[in-house]
Amino acid sequence: MNIEIKSVEPYSDFELSELERYSGVSVDDEIRKFFNEYNGARFSPSGLQGDVREDVGVSEFLSIAQILIEVQQFRFRSGYIPIALAEGGNYVVIDLVSKAVLFLDHEVEDGYREIAADVDDFVKRLIPNAEIQDDFSGMKVKSVWIDPVFLARIKSGEFK
């Protein structure tokens, strides 16, 4: 992982057992290791290195306590739990059976899309947004609309 973790929260055995009760799946050693290292971790906004990064901006890992709240407020597939918040109110989730990590677009019906084979692959591919290089070569702007009031404010020097 190429991001700097700012803080991690401890979790209790009770929280973990509640998560297992909710999901109906025992949390294996790989997922326990993830929570031991990244439970509720805060870091600078980041994205995924590789082909799928284009719309997967990640802002923080959820703590188990936060996951238990999120699963009450949003309906996830059975055996799936959110592990991170993504840009635009979306989630990064893990399938506790296959171990695959998926992006969940909350505005699309069944908006799950696999982004990593497992949680280790997902974490290793996270990079700070500042290091992401978007390639817009070959793209051309066809048209632009600017609010005339906003344009007048720019021209007046209001934002200098």
AA letter at 33: K
Residues of the chain with pLDDT under 70: 1-2, 45, 49-55, 129-138
pLDDT of residue 137: 60
pLDDT of residue 104: 93
Domains, the chain, ordered by start: 13-155 (3.40.1580)
% the chain with pLDDT above 90 = 46
C-alpha–C-alpha distance, residues 109 and 86, integer Å:
17
pLDDT of residue 130: 65
**With contact defined as beta carbons under 8 Å apart, do 138 and 13 qualify?**
no
Which three-class secondary structure state does DSSP give residue 2?
coil
Phi first, then psi: give them for residue 8, nearest 5 degrees: -135, 145
pLDDT of residue 31: 93
C-alpha–C-alpha distance, residues 6 and 4, integer Å:
6
